[in-house]
Amino acid sequence: MSAPSAASAAHAAELRVALLGFGKGGSVFHAPLIDATPGLRLSGVVTGDSARAAAVGHRYPQATVHPSAEHLWERATDYDIAVVTTPNDSHVPLAHAALKSGLAVVVDKPLALDVAEARDLVATAAQREQVLTVYHNRRWDADFQTLWHLVDSGELGRVHRFESRFERWRPEARDSWRDSGPAAAGGGILWDLGPHLVDQAVNLFGPVARVYAELDACRPGVSAEDDAFLALTHRDGTRSHLWASAVAAQRGPRFRVLGDRAAFTIHGMDSQEDRLNQGERPDRPDWGEVLQQHWGELGADGTVRKVPSVRGNYPAFYAGLRDAVAEGEPVPVEPHEVVHGLDVIDAARRSAAAGTAAAVPEPTPLH
């Protein structure tokens, strides 16, 4: 079955979306994309913060503000989809409640802080025959999409090493659950950026067999790691080296990928997050375009050429969600892939604690 065009979706009955949470995740990464997707309507927002409630009323006057999730569940028949973008340790109970209320569910990453809870959530969705997917928007970064095409086309040859970094310079920790909270409650950089790094590596090179990890809390006042290194050995033999850091005073390349025919290197971050932060709408005609000076380089020393970047496309996630709920198309992110990523992160924590590599369970499709 082919996906409906944007034009046809715009004339179809709109799916009503309830957004749980209106912090940065909800207000920057979700609400603008939902609002700009034909066939979706941001109909409700859950927030108990008066300033955020006022912001919802100003930006999205069509949306009903609910003071609590319980208030939303009492009116669940007014909605078709629930998007959970609240603190990490609330993802699982809110997703379960949304499924129980008969709604399709999107959960921001991480899906869960415990692999067994993630599997149980996926099983619940399958038993109820309801859509469940996870917001891994970094699959639609311009640099990752470009690299995906280079790997798929064979231009790099057989890749033996993949290097990937999300690095920042924030020498003073913020007073927030994400920066200062314990890892058990979802704090720390491994829960913040690690799911993206692992998800991209697994999507490129397949399941992971073992992990070696180093996790450090470098800044005063933090109880979870703010600097992380993961060395993954994929089941096909490819090695992925992944860095996530809040204390990188000089950043390395975003990607450096070494193959037996060529290498690919690209610096900087995808621009979509900055544009969303600045309040731009993601349905602008130039959305996701990358200027030539930011293109990556392909080749070997002495024969390197610039490679035009594929356009970034965060809106593709919500277009895929719309088609999954309305037309029965595949979800944009399969939950069993995400569960394997959580197995990798769990192995990374065991590795860092023991100082040795840790095995990762072989992934199995969840039904």
Q: Is the same domain home to 250 and 291?
A: yes
For residue 337, is it within any domain? no
- 302 in any annotated domain: yes
The answer to which of 12-26, 43-57, 138-152 has the lowest mean pLDDT is 12-26
What is the arithmetic mean of pLDDT over 289-306?
96
The per-residue pLDDT for 1 is 33
The least confident of 129-143, 165-179, 305-319 is 165-179
- Domain count of the fold of the chain: 2
- CATH of residue 96: 3.40.50.720
pLDDT band, very low/low/confident/very high, at 113 (cuts 50, 70, 90): very high
Confidence (pLDDT) at 10:
42
Residue 180 and residue 98 share a domain: no
326 shares a domain with 286: no
Query: Residue 365 domain-assigned?
Result: no
| Three-state secondary structure readout of the chain | CCCCCHHHHHHCCCEEEEEECCCHHHHHHHHHHHHHCCCEEEEEEECCCHHHHHHHHHHCCCCEEECCHHHHHCCHHHCCEEEECCCHHHHHHHHHHHHHCCCEEEEECCCCCCHHHHHHHHHHHHHHCCCEEEECHHHHCHHHHHHHHHHHHCCCCCEEEEEEEEECECCCCCCCHHHHCCHHHCCCHHHHCHHHHHHHHHHHHCCEEEEEEEEECCCCCCCCCCEEEEEEEECCCCEEEEEEECECCCCCCCEEEEECCCEEEECCCCCHHHHHHCCCCCCCCCCCCCCHHHCEEEECCCCCEEECCCCCCCHHHHHHHHHHHHHCCCCCCCHHHHHHHHHHHHHHHHHHHHCCCEECCCCCCCC
Encode pLDDT of 230-256 as tens digits.
999 999 999 999 999 999 999 999 999
What pLDDT does 243 receive?
A: 98
Q: Is 55 inside a domain boundary?
A: yes
Residue 147 within a domain: yes
State the residue range of the domain holding 293. Answer: 141-312+343-359
Whether 256 and 175 map to the same domain: the answer is: yes
Are residues 123 and 145 located together in one domain of the fold?
no
Task: Give the pLDDT confidence of 188-200 residue by residue, as tens digits.
Answer: 999 999 999 999 9
115-158 pLDDT, tens digit each: 999 999 999 999 999 999 999 999 999 999 999 999 999 999 99
Could you tell me if residue 97 is inside a domain? yes
Q: Are residues 184 and 116 in the same domain?
A: no
Residue 338 lies in a domain: no
41 and 97 together in one domain = yes
